[in-house]
Amino acid sequence: MTHSDATWFHENFAATGSAVGFRVVRKLDEVQSPFQKIEIYETTDWGNLMLIDGAIMLTSRDNFLYHEMMSHPALFTHSNPKRVVIIGGGDCGTLREVLKHKEVEHVTQVDIDEQVTRMAEKYFPELCDCNADPRAELLFDDGIAYMQNAAPESLDLVIVDSTDPVGPAEGLFNQAFYQSCLNALRPGGILVQQSESPLAQIALIRAMRSAMKDAGFQSLRTISFPQPCYPTGWWSCTMARKHGELNVFRERGAASKAFTTRYYSLDTHRAAISLPPFVFEALEQKP
């Protein structure tokens, strides 16, 4: 492949003082929705690239890491997840992973911005190939209001697959939102939320965990995994459980799962919960 017309796109991430970038061939599309600007680029080595308000959301090549790790660890920690809500997740990649679990009876995806899904259908069609599953429901609505109005004790798992805590996603990172999630979860239910870089944004993870605890969640667990397109290339999500522990998961289920994954496995699940000493210390989370 020659790259005579290629240029470099860099996202300079002010909060971490670090940048991530990709070599791009051309801009494929751009739309200004009522909420944000969505851009799609073709890259030389990473397939298509989606930006929202200039921030890298996903590439074709590495999104499987994030989507698998936002879903399978929480699903294999819950004993029998039947009803799932995804807040955000408009690219439908997390939805696709959740639907791989046959015991899941219903998944509602609530993204405020329909244009994210329309762009994903066009430029990341592989992520949307389960959208017609009869168990899947796609809503384009305010996730904060959706969780406030959700029936009490009606859900097993809430996955918050959002952008950074600025703009439309800001209200997804506070105690009031977590309280809504707690109310909507059944006993043993789990909230899992993307929680940024464990090296560069530990203060944000601490604040999230503190707000989850204050909302009444009984146990917390932050896990980590690689994600090259996000700042520092090392990412995390944090699980919070209504009742019960987060120290164990269905290991036999993970080992004998009937579907294919590229990153997730019994071993990488164990690896994800094996945080290094400096993170355990910063989070005051026991190994």
Q: What are the residue numbers of the active site?
A: 161
Our CB check for a second copy shows the closer of 112 and 239 to be 239
Distance CA 147, CA 158 (A): 9
Parallel, antiparallel or unpaired: strands 185-194 and 155-161: parallel
Our CB check for a second copy shows the closer of 211 and 239 to be 239
Our CB check for a second copy shows the closer of 21 and 152 to be 21
Minimum CB distance to a second copy, residue 247 (Å)? 13
Minimum CB distance to a second copy, residue 91 (Å)? 19
Our CB check for a second copy shows the closer of 177 and 264 to be 264
Binding site for a second copy (CB under 8 A): 8, 10, 12, 14, 16-23, 43-46, 61-62, 197, 199-200, 224, 226-228, 232-234, 261-265, 267-268, 270-272, 274-278, 287
Minimum CB distance to a second copy, residue 27 (Å)? 16
Looking up tokens 């994210």 gives: 116
Closest CA to 230 of 31, 6, 49, 91: 49
Q: Helix 266-273 to helix 63-77 angle, to the nearest 10 degrees?
A: 90
Minimum CB distance to a second copy, residue 20 (Å)? 7
Parallel, antiparallel or unpaired: strands 234-241 and 185-194: antiparallel
Closest CA to 217 of 179, 186, 249, 248: 179
Reduced to 3 states (helix: H, G, I; strand: E, B; else coil), residue 227 is coil
Burial of residue 33, with CB atoms counted within 10 A of its CB: 0-12 exposed, 13-18 middle, 19 or more buried: middle
